[in-house]
Chains A and B, each alone.
Chain A
Amino acid sequence: MSSTDIAIHQTDMHHGHDEHDHDHDQNFIEKYIFSQDHKVIAKQYLFTGIAWAFIGGFLSVLFRLQLGWPEATFSFLEPILGGWVQNGKLDPEFYLALVTMHGTIMVFFVLTAGLSGTFSNFLIPLQIGARDMASGFMNMLSYWIFFLSSVIMFASLFIETGPAGGGWTVYPPLSALPQAISGSALGMTLWLISMALFVVSTLLGGINYITTIINLRTKGMSMTKLPLTIWAFFLTAIVGLLSFPVLLSAALLLIFDRSFGTSFYLSDIYIAGEALSNTGGSPILFQHLFWFLGHPEVYIVIMPAFGIASEVIATNARKPIFGYRAMIGSLMGISVLSIIVWAHHMFVTGMNPFLGSVFMFLTLIIAVPSAVKVFNWLATLWRGNIRFTTPMLFAIGFVSIFISGGLTGIILGNSALDIQLHDTYFVVAHFHLVMGAAAFFGMFCGVYHWYPKMFGRMMDEKLGYVHFWLTFLAVYLVFLPMHYVGIAGFPRRYYNWTGFETFNIFTDLNTFISIAAILGFFAQFVFLFNFIYSMFKGRRSPLNPWHSNTLEWTTPINPGHGNWPGEIPTVYRWPYDYSKPGAAEDYIPQHIPFSETQSSNLPQERVLE
C-alpha cells in the first residue's frame, strides 16, 4: 500500500498548487483539448463516440431504404450521395461500402472507443479513489491517436473510389485486390491505416486502465471491494491487450499483400483477365487472425455494459448485487473463454471439421457464465424497491435484450446448425441484439447515470423515458423479424434479393423492419437534444443524485483535476450496502467506517468497528 500513499501525497501537493493558480496555469487548449485530465478525456471520447454513432446510424438508414424498398428510386438522395446514386438507384458497391462502414464504425469507433473509452476513463479513477490515470500523458495520446484514426476513417467516406466495401471483417482476397471491388483501392488502404492507429490507441488506453486499477486504488479499496464496473473495465482492458495486437498483425500482413507483393493470404487467383503470381497463401489464415481479435472484441464491447448495468441495477433496486463474487467469477470465465472460441465464426470455411467440434464445445460453455449473470441480475431485482430512473430503464432493457440475443448464440455456436444459418439474417439479428443493441443500452444507461457527475446537471427524466421506450420498441421491432427471415436462409449483405424465388417472399417483412429502423434512428435525436440541452439548462444535480454508494459521489459536484479537493476518502466496505437492515438510510457509501454504522453491522463486521 505504500506506493499508493506516496502517490496520494505527491498529487496532494500538486493539487494544492493547482488550486492556487488554476486559471492562470491552464489555458483553453490545455484544459479542454490536449487535456490530461481523465474526466475531460472521457468526455472527448463520449462526444466523438456520439458523433460516430449518428454517422453509423445514418448509414444504416440508407441501406435499410434499399432493403425495404428494393424497387423504389431514391433520386432524393442524389444531393447527399452524388454519383453513388444513378437514376435513383444506389450503386451495389456503395451498398456494400455502407454495410462495411456501418459495422466498422459501430463495433470499433462507437462501442469500443465510445463505450470503454468514455466509461473506463471517467469511472476508473473516480471509483477506485485516484487523482487521475497512472499516466495522464499516455491517456491523452490514446485519445488523440483515436481521433486521428477517426479522421482517416471519416475521410475515406468521401474519396472517389469509396470507402472499404468488403464487409467489416475485410476478408482477403476481396479486400486485398482493388480489381475485385473499388472499395479495396484507396478506401481499404485508409481503413487499414485507421485501424492500425486504432489498435495503438486502444493499447495505450488499456495499459493505463490496468495499471491504474492495480496500483492506484485508495486506502482500503481491495480488489474485492471494487464496484463491478471496475472489474468489468479491468477484464475488458486485459482481453483487449491480449487480442488487439493480433488484429494489428493481421492488418500488417494484409498491407504487405496489398502493397509489397507478398502472398500471405493470396493463392491461385485469376481476376480481371489475368492470373496473379501469388501462390501458397491462405485466406483462412487471415480469418483465424481476424477472429482471434474479432471474437474477444464482442466481449470487449459487452463487458463494460455488464459492469454498468450491474452497478445501475443494484443502485436503483436498492439492493446489493446478488452474488458479487459469482459476478466477478463469471466475468473472468467469459474473459478467458472469449479468447479461445474464435473459430466458431469459421465452421463453414472449409476448416477441419474436427476443429469445428472443439470450438463448438468451447463456445457453448460461455452460455454458463452468461446465464449466471442473467440469473444474478434477476435475483437482484427480486424483492427490491425499484426506482425507475432513466438509467434503470435502460438497464432493464439491457437485460431483456441481452437474454433475447444471447440465447440464439446457443444455436449459432452449434456447428451443425450453423451450416444453414451462417451468414444469414439470423446471425445479423443475433449479434445486433446481443452485442449491438445491448451494448448501446449499456452505454445509454451509463450516460444517463453518470451525466450528473460529468456535467453537474441532470438529464431530463421525461425525455429520457420517451427515448427509452421508443428505442426499446424499435430494437425489438427491427431485430425479432430478422430471425424469421434468417431461419429461411435469407443471406446477409444482399443488395437485392428479388432475383431469388427462395428469398423473394419477405418483401413486406423487410419493409416493416426498415420502417422500424428509421423510426428508431429518429428517436435518437430525442437523446441528442436532451444531452445537449441538459448540459446548459438541465436541473442542477445534488451531490449524490441516485443515493449511490460508490466513491465518485463523494467528490464535489464539478470535480476539478485531481478529483477530491482534500484527502482521498478511505474505503471501508464493499459498494453494495443497500437497504442494510438496521441502517438509517437505505444506502451506506463505501467511505463510511463500520464504527459509524453499529446498528446495521453484520456479526462478522463487528470486529471491524
Chain B
Amino acid sequence: MITIAIGLSIILLLVVLFLLFRIGTLASIFRGSSQRAAGTTKTSNKVNSILLLLFLIIGGIAFAWSFSASWDEMNQPVASVHGVWTDDLFWTTMVIIGIVFVITQVLLFWYSYKYQHKDDKRAYYYPHNNKVEVIWTMIPAIVMAILVFAGWKTWTNITSAAPADAVVVEVMGKQFNWMVRYPGPDGKLGVTKTTLIDATNEFGIDFSDPNAQDDIVNPLEIHIPKGKPVLFKIRSRDVIHSVFLPHFRQKMDAVPGMPTKFWFVPTKTTADMQSETGNAEFKYEMACTEICGRGHFAMRYVVVVDEPEDFEAWLGEQKAFASQNPDVVAKFQKTAEEKTAAKMEASAKVQ
C-alpha cells in the first residue's frame, strides 16, 4: 500500500514538473524571448550572473566555515620526526595554492557577473598580449621550482638509508591481516622461503638458518621505542598490500617478491598521545591502503610506542617462535640431518 502511495506521489510530482516546464516554455514564447539570440535574454542573464556571484560568496563562506569546523578532525596529531616536515610542507603548499585558488575563483565569478551581456555593449577585442603571457608563465614556473626543491629535499631526507642501529620490525601482509616478526637478540632476521609456509610457520622461516632461531613472530601488538629510529621491512606473501600508519605519516606498499622498507623516528609514546588527545583509549593503528580483496578494510594492527626502557622490557618478555614450536624446528633438523646423511653417503660411494 505504502509502495503504491509513494509511486503515485512520484508520478504526480513528475506530472506537475512537466506541466510547469510546459507553462514556462509557452510563457517564454509569449514574451517573445525565443526571438532573441540565444543567451541574450535579459532575465536569464541577470538571474544566472547573480547566481554565479552568490555561488562565489555563499559558497566561499560555506567552504571557509566547513573547513575551520573540520580543522581538528583533518589534522590528526603527528607522532614522527619526518611527519612534522611533511605536515609543514603540506600546509605551506596549501597556503600557496589557496592564494591562487581564491584569486582565480574570485576573478572567474566576478568577471562572469560584471561582464554579463548588455545589448548596447560590445566586447573588447583583445586577442593577446605577449608581455602578460610571459609574466604569468614565469610566475608559476618559479613557484613550482621552489616547491620542487622543498619537496625534493624532504623526500631525500625521508628516503635516505636507515641508521645502522635502527630497531628492525618485519611486517608481512597477507589476506587479510598483518604478520609481524622481530629479529630477536641477535638482531638478524632468519631466511624465509615461500615454499616453507604452512599453517604454523606462516612466515615460511627456514629454521636451518641459525639467525632464525631467536626470531619473535606475531606479538599481540607492534611495540616500538620512542625517540629511536625504527626500520619497517615490508613484504607480502600473496597480493599487494600497503602499510599505512596515519599518525606517523608513513606509508609503503607490501609487494610480493619485492621487499620494501621505510624508517622513521616516533616522537610520542602511546601514553603521550592519550594525554595529548584527552582520549584514554587512544591507540596507534596500522591500516592497509592498497586494495587487496574482501577484507581490505579490516587489516588493523595496533602499534604501541613505549619509552625505550619499557620497549626493551617488553622485547625481553617475548618468546622466540622456535622455542614455542619445537615440532616445527624439529622437522628442519630432521631434513637437515637427512641431507647431510645423504651427502655423506654419496661421497662415501664416490670414494
| CB 8 Å contact bits of A160-185 with B (1 = contact, 0 = none) | 00000011000101100100110000
Q: Is A220 an interface residue (CB 8 A)?
A: no
| CB 8 Å contact bits of A584-601 with B (1 = contact, 0 = none) | 001000000000000000
Q: Is B293 an interface residue (CB 8 A)?
A: yes
Nearest CB in chain A to that of B281: its residue: A501
| CB 8 Å contact bits of A368-389 with B (1 = contact, 0 = none) | 1001101110110111111111
Are the C-beta atoms of A403 and B148 separated by less than 8 Å?
no
Chain B residues with CB below 8 A from A367, complex form: 140, 144
Q: Is B123 an interface residue (CB 8 A)?
A: yes
Chain B residues with CB below 8 A from A422, complex form: 242, 251, 289
Instruction: With both chains docked as a complex, state the minimum distance between the C-beta of B340 and any C-beta of chain A, in angstroms.
Output: 25
Q: Is B156 an interface residue (CB 8 A)?
A: yes
Chain A residues with CB below 8 A from B132, complex form: 379
Interface residues of B in 165-217 (CB under 8 A from A): 174-175, 194-195, 197, 204
Residue of B28, B51, B93, B238 touching A269 (CB-CB under 8 A) = B238
The docked-state distance in angstroms from the alpha carbon of A507 to that of B50 is 35
Q: Is B90 an interface residue (CB 8 A)?
A: yes
Chain B residues with CB below 8 A from A603, complex form: none
Are the C-beta atoms of A389 and B39 separated by less than 8 Å?
yes
Are the C-beta atoms of B291 and A166 separated by less than 8 Å?
yes
Residue total for B at the interface (Cβ-Cβ under 8 A): 117
Are the C-beta atoms of B115 and A384 separated by less than 8 Å?
yes
Chain B residues with CB below 8 A from A500, complex form: 285, 287, 300
Are the C-beta atoms of B126 and A319 separated by less than 8 Å?
yes
Are the C-beta atoms of A324 and B240 separated by less than 8 Å?
no
Nearest CB in chain A to that of B257: its residue: A267
Q: Is A357 an interface residue (CB 8 A)?
A: yes
Chain B residues with CB below 8 A from A280, complex form: 257
Are the C-beta atoms of B237 and A270 separated by less than 8 Å?
yes
Q: Is B316 an interface residue (CB 8 A)?
A: no
Are the C-beta atoms of A173 and B238 separated by less than 8 Å?
yes
Are the C-beta atoms of A180 and B238 separated by less than 8 Å?
yes
Are the C-beta atoms of A385 and B291 separated by less than 8 Å?
no
Are the C-beta atoms of B197 and A270 separated by less than 8 Å?
yes
| CB 8 Å contact bits of B248-280 with A (1 = contact, 0 = none) | 011111011111100000000000000000000
Are the C-beta atoms of B117 and A388 separated by less than 8 Å?
yes
Chain B residues with CB below 8 A from A316, complex form: 39
Are the C-beta atoms of B285 and A501 separated by less than 8 Å?
yes
Are the C-beta atoms of B289 and A424 separated by less than 8 Å?
yes
Chain B residues with CB below 8 A from A368, complex form: 137, 140-141, 144
Chain A residues with CB below 8 A from B281, complex form: 501
Question: Across the A-B interface, how many residue pairs have beta carbons closer than 8 Å?
Answer: 360
Are the C-beta atoms of B128 and A350 separated by less than 8 Å?
no
Are the C-beta atoms of B148 and A282 separated by less than 8 Å?
no
Q: Is A480 an interface residue (CB 8 A)?
A: yes
Binding site for B on A (CB under 8 A): 92-93, 96, 166-167, 171, 173-174, 177, 180-181, 266-271, 275-276, 279-284, 316-326, 348-350, 353, 356-357, 360-361, 364-365, 367-368, 371-372, 374-376, 378-379, 381-389, 392-393, 396, 399-400, 403-404, 407-408, 410-411, 414-417, 419-420, 422-424, 458, 460-463, 465, 469, 472-473, 476, 480-481, 484-485, 487-489, 491-497, 499-503, 505-506, 509, 539, 545-547, 576, 578-581, 586
26 A-B residue pairs with CB within 8 Å: A92-B297, A177-B238, A279-B257, A283-B256, A323-B133, A350-B259, A356-B159, A357-B152, A360-B152, A360-B155, A372-B136, A382-B111, A387-B39, A388-B39, A388-B48, A417-B86, A422-B289, A423-B289, A462-B24, A480-B63, A489-B246, A491-B244, A493-B291, A496-B298, A500-B285, A509-B70
Sorted nearest first, the 7 A-B pairs with minimum C-beta distance are: A387-B39, A267-B257, A350-B260, A353-B159, A489-B246, A389-B39, A579-B123
Given contacts A417-B90, A586-B123, list 10 more A-B pairs with CB under 8 A: A271-B238, A350-B259, A353-B156, A364-B148, A381-B115, A411-B94, A414-B151, A484-B66, A506-B73, A581-B125
Binding site for A on B (CB under 8 A): 21, 24-25, 28, 34, 37-41, 44-45, 47-49, 51-52, 55, 59, 63, 66-67, 70, 73-76, 83, 85-86, 89-90, 93-94, 96-97, 100-101, 104-105, 107-109, 111-112, 115-118, 121-129, 132-133, 136-137, 140-141, 144, 147-148, 151-152, 154-156, 158-159, 174-175, 194-195, 197, 204, 234, 237-240, 242, 244, 246-247, 249-253, 255-260, 281-283, 285, 287-298, 300
